[in-house]
Amino acid sequence: MIDFPTELVEALRAAKRVLFFTGAGVSAESGLPTFRDAQTGLWASYKPQDLATPEAFARDPETVWRWYQWRRRVHADVAPNPAHHAIAGFEARLPETVLVTQNVDRLHELAGSAAPIHLHGSVFRNKCAQCGTEMPEVPHDLETPPRCDTCGGLCRPDIVWFGEALPQEPWHAAMAAAQRAEIVFSIGTSATVHPAARIPLVARDAGALLVQINPEPTPFDKIALNLRGPAGVVLPELVEAVWPS
Ligand SMILES: [Zn+2]
């Protein structure tokens, strides 16, 4: 068992507003390949900017579409891990918990998290590339992007591509939660992707206790309470330490 600092256990028992901020490391523990790791076989010869930029989609929509359809099929084989379930467990005990994720999968939803804030969108959502209208999910073997009923534009995944700004609504929701949080967890993220990495810093500057769960060092090491190890091990033990069963 991990010996958690008393300060943290007591803070969690007293807390109402906890903010979770998760990154690729949490999905990787489920075996979900990262963007680059997914670039195998046919896809190995492409550069990321040929698959994940608005320019690439404008130039060659079918190739970009097929890449995301392939990634959707990869995602279908992956299940949430104990870290996702532990976060959903926090939400069940502390209803004002807010979950902000940089991940574009839906593993938090599958674990039971009600409404994760997706800062970078989700590969499972679609929108019109032209007018932005939300579009429905389609079978993951459809090889060409459907057309928008409203404007005839092409369907694209509703995720943030390289060179695109973060969508305003989730960003503002995440910032508001950061300003109110009593405790903020930064989990499985290198804390180097901006502006997303500002979320835990804003929470800390507003007075929250910053807790980091990561196997590797990050820029947050000097300012966080660090729990070294995989989130899928640390988080379930933390739940048990705070609320012994
Ligand atoms: Zn449209």
Say if residue 155 carries a ligand binding annotation: no
Output the pLDDT for position 79. 97
Residues 208 and 181: beta-carbon distance below 8 Å:
yes
Output the pLDDT for position 33. 79
Torsion sign across C-alpha atoms 211, 214, 219, 222: positive
Give me ligand 1 centre to Cα 48, in Å.
25
- Fold type of domain 37-76+140-159: SIR2/SIRT2 'Small Domain' (3.30.1600)
Q: How far apart are CA 120 and CA 128, in angstroms?
A: 16
Give me ligand 1 centre to Cα 115, in Å.
26
Output the pLDDT for position 122. 95
Residues 72 and 124: beta-carbon distance below 8 Å:
yes
Say if residue 60 carries a ligand binding annotation: no
For the domain bounded by 6-32+79-120+166-242, which CATH number is listed? Answer: 3.40.50.1220
Output the pLDDT for position 242. 96
Output the pLDDT for position 76. 85
Say if residue 148 carries a ligand binding annotation: yes
Judged on CB neighbours under 10 Å (0-12, 13-18, 19+), 185 is buried
3-state secondary structure of 41: helix
Residues with a known catalytic role: 120
Q: How far apart are CA 50 and CA 53, in angstroms?
A: 7
Residues 37 and 205: beta-carbon distance below 8 Å:
no
| Domain parsing of the chain, residue ranges | 6-32+79-120+166-242, 37-76+140-159
Give me ligand 1 centre to Cα 135, in Å.
9
| Crossing angle of helices 231-242 and 82-93, rounded to 10° | 30
Output the pLDDT for position 35. 73
Give me ligand 1 centre to Cα 125, in Å.
15
Give me ligand 1 centre to Cα 103, in Å.
25
Say if residue 102 carries a ligand binding annotation: yes
Cα 42–Cα 36–Cα 66 angle in degrees, nearest 5: 45
Say if residue 216 carries a ligand binding annotation: yes
Averaged pLDDT, groups of 10, the chain, 245 residues long: 94 97 95 80 86 96 96 91 97 96 96 96 96 96 96 97 94 98 96 88 97 93 94 97 93
3-state secondary structure of 22: strand
Output the pLDDT for position 206. 97
Q: How far apart are CA 28 and CA 105, in angstroms?
A: 11
